Structure 1
Amino acid sequence: MNKFNLEQHPKITSGFTTPENYFDTLSNTVLEKTKQQPKQETRVLSLNRVIYIAAAILVLALSVPFFQSNSNVTLEQIDTNSIENYLSYQTNISQYELINSIELEDLDAMNINLALEDESVEAILTMNPNFENYITE
C-alpha cells in the first residue's frame, strides 16, 4: 500500500474569502445595528388579572344551574300521558308495586263518579252510526 502524505497533494481552495479588516470592524457594525433598531413595547398581561378573569368565568359557569333550577314544576303542569309513559317505559316498577305504593287518600282523589243519565246515553248512541253494534254486544 502506498503511503499518503497531505503535503504532497494539491490543496483544494474553498472559494470563500473574507473582506479585508472584516473581523476588526465586526463588533462596531453589530453595535451600530443594535442601536438603530427601535425597541418594541411588549405587552405584559399580569397574572393576577388572568386569575380574576378565570375565577369570574368559573363562578358564572357554576351559578347557571342554580338560576335554572328556580322554575319548579308542579304536578298540575305535568301531562298525565307523560307520567304514564315515564312509568311504563323508564322505570322497572311493576303494576303491583305501583298499586301498593298508592295511598288511600290518593285513591279517594282518583275516584270519579261515572253516573250517566239515560237521555245522554241515548243521545250518544243515536249520534253514532254504528250504535247497533253497541247494543248487540
Structure 2
Amino acid sequence: MTTEGEVRSEGTDTRVVVSYDGVLGMTIGKDTIPIAEIAKPDDSETPKYDWPLEIGKKWKYENNWTSQDGTTGNQSQTAEVLSFKEETVEAGTFMAYTIKYSGKTTNSRGYNANETEVWLYAPAVKNFIKLTQDQGEFHYVEELIVYSKPK
C-alpha cells in the first residue's frame, strides 16, 4: 500500500513443504525451492539473523541482490532484538523475537528509500510469523495465517 492509500498488491501466498524426487522443497508461487537451499547457513559478516538471538543484541545487516528482471540492489540496515514474548497472528500464538531493522534500500534503476522493518521470528516455526515493512512510500505486511506441524 502506498502512503496515499493505494493498494498495489493484495492476496494470499501459499507455501507448502513438499517432497519431490526424494528431496524436501517449499513451494513459493509456481517455484519449488529445496529446503536445503532455504535453510543453508548464512556465513555473511552481516547476516539477516545473528544467532543466537537475545534481547538487546544489535548487528549490521547488508544484502546485495539481483531480481528476476536483472535489477541489482542493496539493503543496508542496523538490526536490534527488542523482545521475546508471545505473539498472536492468524495462524496462532507463538513465542517470537521482535527484531527491528532500520536502514536504506537502493537499486540500479535509481530507487533509493529509507526503510523500517519489524520481523516476528518464531523459533518453533523456524521462520518469521509476521513482517511489517515501511519502505519509502510503501507499506507492506506479511503474516502467517495457517500453520501445521510437520509429521
Shorter-chain TM band: under 0.3
- The TM-score with structure 2 as length reference comes to 0.16
Larger Rg: 1
Higher relative contact order (CA 8 A, sep 6+): 2
Which protein has the bigger strand share? 2
Which protein has the bigger helix share? 1
- The TM-score with structure 1 as length reference comes to 0.17
